[in-house]
């Protein structure tokens, strides 16, 4: 069995950290052994650390790195990567919950193909699809899935060969940089569509815009600095796929148009932040309504 290390970067995740740790400690293991589960608690002011410590008493694989000050996800990732000795590294967002075979399945392409350097999982939102913001979340991740089937990309959970030890600390986003790193080293990116993790999209427009504008600024930064853009498709393809998702339902079509407008507005805000305000947020403002999963 190949050993892997799992890293979880957490800031005030008391509502979900117990759920993700419970799910990770009960993973099915056939070809992959989970050697350790490391939580990096970054300046937490809630019960996150105390919950993790309770799990440590029950499972010796769980470890805690406590950062006194919140300095951004990249700083947390770097502190984690410094200590990892296992050949496979898995990093999962703290506000997700994996299916019971998700770790095995995301690592599988690394075991079977030496050309693969990094693998992305498939997030599926738990939001109510019959509400506008829930529908927006489902469209977003459905398109992410479709794009990844054409050209793999990373997201809420990644598995990678233990070769990356540091990410530039001033980067706004990490996952697209990880893609670029392994591509530059001559590896391929794979998509494990059967590695399912549950996540939750924002429930209010303000949280959606807050998250998407940061991503928009991050993509601009990556393109300007490294000339790299993550997997995307042309606008017409996205429109066609969106309306395949909606069908001929008038309400769903209206909601899809609303999602497009929100994304466009968020992209404009990200452009404004990066080019006009010169605001490069490595410490994101939290989208609080996406933090508690009830899968």
Per-residue pLDDT reduced to its tens digit, 232-256: 656 787 888 888 889 899 999 999 9
Nearest residue to 96 via CA among 55, 155, 148: 155
Which range among 50-64, 146-160, 164-178 has the greatest average pLDDT? Answer: 50-64
Of 231, 213, 201, nearest to 141 by C-alpha is 201
Domains, the chain, with CATH or none:
2-285 (3.90.550.10)
Q: What is the mean pLDDT of residues 153-175?
A: 93
- pLDDT attached to residue 223: 92
Closest to 271 measured CA to CA, from 213, 187, 228: 213
- Give the residue from 141, 113, 144, 116 showing the smallest Cα distance to 126: 141
**If you ran DSSP here, which 8-state letter would residue 98 be given?**
E
Is the pTM higher than 0.75? The answer reads yes
Ranges 67-81, 92-106, 117-131, 219-233: which has the least confidence: 219-233
Q: Is the dihedral of CA 126, 131, 137, 140 positive or negative?
A: positive
The model's confidence at residue 294, banded by pLDDT at 50, 70 and 90, is low
What is the per-residue pLDDT across 27-71, written as a single tens digit (0 to 9) for each? 999 999 999 999 999 999 999 999 999 999 999 999 999 999 988
User: For residue 291, what pLDDT is reported?
Assistant: 65
Measured between alpha carbons, how far is 152 from 120 in angstroms, rounded to an integer? 7
Instruction: Indicate if the pLDDT at residue 287 is higher than 80.
Output: no
Q: What is the mean pLDDT of the chain?
A: 92
What is residue 289's predicted lDDT score, i.e. its pLDDT?
Answer: 72
Whether 295 has a pLDDT exceeding 50, the answer reads no
Per-residue pLDDT, 36: 98
pLDDT of residue 156: 93
The string of pLDDT tens digits covering residues 258-269 is: 999 999 999 999
Q: Give the pLDDT confidence score for residue 108 in this predicted structure.
A: 97
Report the C-alpha dihedral over residues 132, 135, 136, 141, rounded to 10 degrees: 170
pLDDT at 292: 63
Neighbours of 271 (CB within 10 A): 14
């Amino acid at each position: 069995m190949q050993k892997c290390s799992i890293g979880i970067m957490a800031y005030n995740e008391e509502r979900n950290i117990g759920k993700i740790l419970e799910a990770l400690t009960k993973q099915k293991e056939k070809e992959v052994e989970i050697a350790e589960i490391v939580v990096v608690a970054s300046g937490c002011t809630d019960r996150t650390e105390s919950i993790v410590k309770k799990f440590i008493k029950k499972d010796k694989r769980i470890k805690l790195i406590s950062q006194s000050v919140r300095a951004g996800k990249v700083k947390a990732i770097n502190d984690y990567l410094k200590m990892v000795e296992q050949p496979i590294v898995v990093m999962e967002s703290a506000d997700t919950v994996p299916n019971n075979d998700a770790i095995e399945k995301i690592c599988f392409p690394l075991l079977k193909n030496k050309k693969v350097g990094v693998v992305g999982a498939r997030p599926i939102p738990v939001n109510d699809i019959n509400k506008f913001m829930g529908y927006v979340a489902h469209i977003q991740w459905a398109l992410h899935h479709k794009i990844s089937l054409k050209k793999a990309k990373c997201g809420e959970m990644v598995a990678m060969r233990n070769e990356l030890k540091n990410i530039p600390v001033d980067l706004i986003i990490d996952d697209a940089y990880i893609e670029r790193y392994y591509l530059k080293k001559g590896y391929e990116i794979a998509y494990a569509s059967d590695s399912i993790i549950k996540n939750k999209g924002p429930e209010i427009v303000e949280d959606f815009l807050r998250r998407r504008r940061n991503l928009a600024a991050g993509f601009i930064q990556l393109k300007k600095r490294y000339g790299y853009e993550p997997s995307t498709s042309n606008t017409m393809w996205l429109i066609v796929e969106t309306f395949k998702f909606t069908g001929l339902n008038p309400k769903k079509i209206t909601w899809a148009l609303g999602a497009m407008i929100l994304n466009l507005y968020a992209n404009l805000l990200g452009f404004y932040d990066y080019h006009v305000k010169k605001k490069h947020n490595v410490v994101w403002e939290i989208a609080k309504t996406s933090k508690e999963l009830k899968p």
